[in-house]
Structure 1
Amino acid sequence: MQTMDIDKGKYVNKPRKRDDVGVTFSGWRKFNSSWYFLSTEKKSWTESRQDCLGRGAHLVIINSRAEQEFIHQWVGCLNIYLGFHDTNTEGVWEWINDGQSGQSSAPGTTYWRDGEPNNTNQDEDCAHLSKKESDPLKSWNDIPCTTKIHWVCEKMASTL
């Protein structure tokens, strides 16, 4: 199984194990009541969303400060897509839920970098967690949905 080596910022083969966060399972990692999958390739936001749907999951939806801090630490040096966008109405950010029960489409607390979202060039409609900032509570940025970056899928623990 390939997993992300957080310290080295690259993928390595590691056996499944129990760690301080939870149990890993075939590339999935558990935190609280969800399982998370970190991509090993880069795709657009739409392609990333489709990949998650194919896994019976959705792009990660941040529901708490603890979840934000976990994702920020876990992805290491990677920028990753979030399931957060304003493609329907500019400036109105919403979470996708792709039919997952217990997931809110309301934005709630957000963790934008200072000055974000800014919609540079009028085409930044998808949110990503940016590793330019070391502060996990100020790490979101808006980017064009066609940008190819990594992503994290999330599904409820009861569905894996």
Structure 2
Amino acid sequence: MDCNQLGGSLATIRSQDESDAVKNFLDQVSFSHNDWGQPGSDVWLAGSDEDTEGNWYWETNGQQEPIPDDGFVDWRTGEPNDAGYAGEHCMALSSGDWKWNDIRCMSRKFVLCEIPDSNAITG
């Protein structure tokens, strides 16, 4: 199951209020171990710098919107760092503090979806 199948897209976080709401939600969900038996579970967001290293943008529904350096950002200390042999061009919330981390795009993570009210699942 992915966000598109639910009528939405990976989540974006564009303000401190949105960040606080997401962190509050994730703190209420059990993430003590992921499905692969490892402690903690990072969560995918819609951020990427795959086109140009260091130029981060939100990608939703095929559209790119730059994440301005002088706008809201919530990177972990020392991030983004593009560590690793394959580069880190996707964004996830890191379990524990729920701050942004650049990671390899092929990593297995949970997803956080934004679904418009018109597509919301009820019942």
Q: TM-score, length-normalised on structure 2?
A: 0.74
1:155 is aligned to 115
Note if 1:74 corresponds to 2:33.
no
Compute the displacement of 1:60 (Å): 0.3
* 4+ residue runs over 6 A deviation: none
Measure the CA separation in 1 of the matches of 2:112 and 2:106: 16
Of 47, 53, 60, which aligns to 2:4?
53
Measure the CA separation in 2 of the matches of 1:90 and 1:99: 19
Aligned residue for 2:107, secondary structure, equals coil
In the superposition, relative to structure 1, how do residues 86 and 73 fare at CA in structure 2: closer, same or farther (>3 Å)?
A: same
Larger RCO (alpha carbons 8 Å, 6+ apart) = 2
Identity, % of aligned positions: 34
Work out whether residues 72 and 129 of structure 1, in 8 Å CA contact, stay in contact via their aligned partners in 2.
no
Runs of 5+ unmatched residues, structure 1: 1-47
1:1-160 to 2 correspondence within 5 Å? 51-76=2-27, 77=31, 78-98=41-61, 105-107=65-67, 108-121=71-84, 123-133=87-97, 139-160=99-120
- 1:60-96 deviation line (CA, Å, top 9, x unaligned): 0112211111111212344201000011111110001
Q: Which structure has greater strand proportion?
A: 1
Q: Given residue 73 of structure 2, which amino acid in structure 1 is its aligned partner?
A: T
Aligned residue for 1:147, secondary structure, equals coil
Q: Aligned-pair RMSD on alpha carbons?
A: 2.0
Runs of 5+ unmatched residues, structure 2: 32-40
Q: TM-score, length-normalised on structure 1?
A: 0.58
